[in-house]
Amino acid sequence: MQLPIYQVDAFTDRVLGGNPAAVCPLESWLDDVTLQRIAEENNLSETAYFVREGEGYRLRWFTPAVEVDLCGHATLAAAWVLFNELGETAETLRFFTRSGELRVSRNGALLAMDFPLGNPQPLEVPPALAAALGCDIESLHYADDFFVIVRDAQVIDLLTPDIAALAQFDVRGICVSAPGVEHDIVSRWFGPRVGVNEDPVTGSAHTSLARYWSQRLGKNLLNARQGGARQGQLRCEVRDNGRVIISGQAALYLRGTLYL
């Protein structure tokens, strides 16, 4: 069996930036074990698969270890492949996912993803968390991930967390964020529990980051930067209908063939 595969760098306008995702268009679904093993072989934070379904596409995302409920950068990458490699002419794509229907539209040079808005709730800070991150914590919130708020963007750049210690916390991932200087918010995301020690740019985390920082900064349109050595840019627009529009660019790194 031969299958097409693309690798797309998401939330960047150039290759070797942003967050790489593998995209595998399928005519019909392979078994879940094979989907997971391909994602493990790719060894990227996410591999996206989609199959045409009615007027849209059924979309699924796998890390090297597990299938996940929501992934932003691989959704952006899948939409980029459909628009730019597979000749999709619709202005808006419909994706049917474990998180409901998601839509991606063209907006000039950007692709705009319509996602459900997260609702992070405050938590008491476990003492071991600050030790694992190696930084002081201003506050902690939870919505699928831990959202750690720190005071200074410089802390984000200097983070060298104890990944093994972070893996002891029973959450999808741990996102550390602060108000930015050139951007409204800056962040980094660590997910050893799902097989991703650090994800360069996590679109799904910004569904919650956008709500928190929108309320704190008093603005509905936010420019965000995520990452350490490798970084990407996002634009988040919080809407009154419980949705957030997360926009970014993408660049093709490779196209190829899987031989199974």
126-179 pLDDT, tens digit per residue, is 989 999 999 999 999 999 999 999 999 999 999 999 999 999 999 999 999 999
Band (53; pLDDT cuts 50, 70, 90): very high
User: Rounded to two decimals, what is the model's pTM?
Assistant: 0.95
Say yes or no to pLDDT of 17 above 90.
Answer: yes
Residues 133 and 77 in one domain: no
Q: Indicate if 55 and 98 belong to the same structural domain.
A: yes
Mean pLDDT taken over the chain: 97
* Residue 33 and residue 97 in one domain: yes
Question: Are 136 and 98 in the same domain?
Answer: no
**Same domain (yes/no): 82, 127:** no
- If asked whether residues 143 and 199 sit together in one domain, one would say yes
Tell me which of 46, 88, 124, 182 is the catalytic residue.
Answer: 46
User: What pLDDT score does 230 carry?
Assistant: 95
Count how many domains the chain has. Answer: 2
Range(s) of the domain holding residue 151: 121-238
Q: Identify the pLDDT of residue 162.
A: 98
Going by C-beta distance under 8 Å and a sequence separation of 6 or more, which residues neighbour residue 260?
1, 2, 3, 34, 38
Q: Is 46 a catalytic residue?
A: yes
For residue 254, give the CATH number of its domain: 3.10.310.10
